[in-house]
Structure 1
Amino acid sequence: MARDNINDILVFIAVARERSFTRAAAKLGMSQSALSHIVRGLEERLGVRLLTRTTRSVSPTEAGERLLQNVGPRLEEIDAEITAITDLGDKPAGTVRITAIDHVIDTVLWPRIAPLLPQYPELHIEISSDYRLVDIAAERFDIGVRHGDQVEKDMIAVRLTADVPMRIVGAPAYFARQPAPASLQDLMTHNCINLRLASSGGLYAWELLHDGQPIEARVRGQAVFTNVHHMLAAALDGVGVTFLPESLVAPHVEAGRLVSVMEDWCPSFPGLHAYYPSRRHSSRALGLVIDALRYTG
């Protein structure tokens, strides 16, 4: 097969996986028009249509799906072998792509990864902030981060943190207007600051614990956000109460800017884990990053 065909197939695979020329162009660092031209040329050479294009979506045809499912993994195997050969050099090299939520990036990932970069000039890190439960294999991430109970069984998991205590908090100014809640019934009367889930589009149900039994509290309030930093800011502004990791709110509780309530209702979630697919060849760059992230107690 001509080398141009291989490069063009890689472009097609990116578009087919993203279901979007726009997202694929951003990921590949190319223009949408260039991607469209490449895919059209590949279709002409193969004599079949690979993508169904509408004004709103892009999806593989039957021929495109076959190319995606049968050829894509083989090209990835070739890429893995080339990476393994590259790793025989003196220094770890290559790009490690990671997906996690913003709070975890700020407090766990970046502080541990940043010291690596001056030491290893050929190491490149790409970190994507995302609240979805990302399929890292399908979206070609090397590492994902989830709580331990959310990691799929076919993944290799490495603990990053101890278990994660949660807290219900509000500002003193808010509690000056409405007494602090002491029960679930009390909580339902409060102005609760909520999280909109990226995966489902629904509101996150607060996962509380009472007398050892898990309870999902579907609370309501005026403010809904899609990330925890905005939820924290709203709580600090006295808008209402919210449910966040202790590590995020602890400095504000200690300084008196927030008050922690209903602590006996707040569980600890299983610790955060980095997870990645079990591969025949894991790159030295990936191993280096995993070792830097690993929880040491």
Structure 2
Amino acid sequence: MDRNLFENVQPFLAVAEHLSFTHAAAILGVTPTAISQAIRNLEQRHGVLLFQRTTRRVSLTEAGEHLYQALRQSAEEVQNAFAGLHDFSTRPTGTLRLTFTPLVMDMLIEPILPTFTKACPDVKLELSVSEGIVDIIADNFDAGIRLGAAIEKDMIAVKLSPELSWAVYGSPAYFQDHPRPQKPEDLLDHHAIHYRFVKSGMLHHWQFTRDKRDFTVAIPGAMTVNDRRSMLALAKRGLGLAYMSHAETHDAVLQGQLEPVLGKFITPEPGLYLYFPERSQSQPKLRAFIDIAVKYCNSPAFTGRFHE
């Protein structure tokens, strides 16, 4: 596009609307001489006469009238387009794109969606549910929700949950056939359901702490999955032990489907955080979501999932 295409259009529209160089100059805050020069430049650039001028009167030529009618409609559309930006800065509107894990979908997003959609009817939601780490800037997300340890340092992070406590979980049926491990080394005589990270392809190591020393135990495993919901389901069926957080297993423990062991040997991790780039924090749609999410995350229905 010609970068000089819109040069002198505003002075032309002002003179054409009021048929007065003096009035146009007053509206635009410049001198009548500046307006005259702008019109002269526009006429010379396009090789047509746009105004007829006498000492008493200013009128549009046929070419000037044609240009005015065409530009006036376009100018109104441009003005309306900029006026529409006001909504984006003052009330929740537009599309809110979020990324989070299946666990977050189950225990946070689903419960608050009715409240959010009622409070923000003009916001469309695009929700990406993924186990893997996501670059929210490169992938054009407004915000993400992940464990604190996985968040880049240049993001603004809002804490949503307490620390995440972990344990090794097995079903009552599994523990009927296998002795309960009393220490991490006992796991060498058990069967593990391993988890493989989606993005890196690495196995999740079962890490423990004793006497302020961290160590891992390589547990034999007949199964490996890259989906934590599947790992939970397999553990409930008694097919092996799973290394999982209390938040993931809360319902299964309450229902007697899983039992925790070795939790005292596992150091809690930073909890869940909602994170976003600094440029996003002024968006009303995101501020509204944060307010609703934080309110729910302070309720017993949410915080209770993080404790045995």
- TM-score, normalised with respect to structure 2: 0.65
Provide the aligned C-alpha RMSD in A.
2.3
- Cα distance change on mapping 1:252 and 1:88 into 2, 3 Å: closer
User: Which deviates further from its counterpart, 97-106 or 279-288?
Assistant: 279-288
Secondary structure (helix, strand or coil) at the match of 1:188 reads: helix
- Cα distance change on mapping 1:141 and 1:83 into 2, 3 Å: farther
Match in the other structure for 2:151: 151
Following superposition, the deviation at residue 233 of structure 1 comes to 0.7
Secondary structure (helix, strand or coil) at the match of 1:168 reads: strand
Opposite residue 217 of structure 2, the aligned amino acid is A
Secondary structure (helix, strand or coil) at the match of 2:192 reads: coil
User: C-alpha distance in 1, partners of 2:84/2:280?
Assistant: 12
Match in the other structure for 2:119: 119
User: C-alpha distance in 2, partners of 1:208/1:222?
Assistant: 21
Secondary structure (helix, strand or coil) at the match of 2:290 reads: helix
Secondary structure (helix, strand or coil) at the match of 1:164 reads: coil
Contact 2:191/2:240 (8 A) holds in 1: yes
Following superposition, the deviation at residue 280 of structure 1 comes to 7.2
CA deviation map 1:263-293 (0-9, x unaligned): 2113221110010001177211011112222
User: C-alpha distance in 2, partners of 1:242/1:198?
Assistant: 17
How many pairs align? 218
Contact 1:192/1:220 (8 A) holds in 2: yes
Superposed counterparts of 1:53-64, under 5 Å: none
Secondary structure (helix, strand or coil) at the match of 2:165 reads: strand
Secondary structure (helix, strand or coil) at the match of 1:87 reads: helix
Q: Which 5+ residue runs of structure 2 have no aligned equivalent?
A: 3-81, 300-308
Match in the other structure for 1:31: none
Match in the other structure for 1:257: 257
Following superposition, the deviation at residue 167 of structure 1 comes to 1.9
Opposite residue 296 of structure 1, the aligned amino acid is N
Match in the other structure for 1:129: 129
Contact 1:113/1:289 (8 A) holds in 2: no
Match in the other structure for 2:73: none
Match in the other structure for 1:240: 240
Following superposition, the deviation at residue 262 of structure 1 comes to 1.2
Match in the other structure for 1:180: 180
User: C-alpha distance in 1, partners of 2:246/2:280?
Assistant: 38
- Cα distance change on mapping 1:235 and 1:102 into 2, 3 Å: same
The percentage of aligned residue pairs carrying the same residue is: 31
Higher-Rg structure is 2
- Cα distance change on mapping 1:258 and 1:296 into 2, 3 Å: closer
User: C-alpha distance in 1, partners of 2:279/2:84?
Assistant: 12
Following superposition, the deviation at residue 88 of structure 1 comes to 4.2
Following superposition, the deviation at residue 176 of structure 1 comes to 1.6
- TM-score, normalised with respect to structure 1: 0.67
Following superposition, the deviation at residue 82 of structure 1 comes to 9.2
Following superposition, the deviation at residue 207 of structure 1 comes to 3.0
Match in the other structure for 1:296: 298
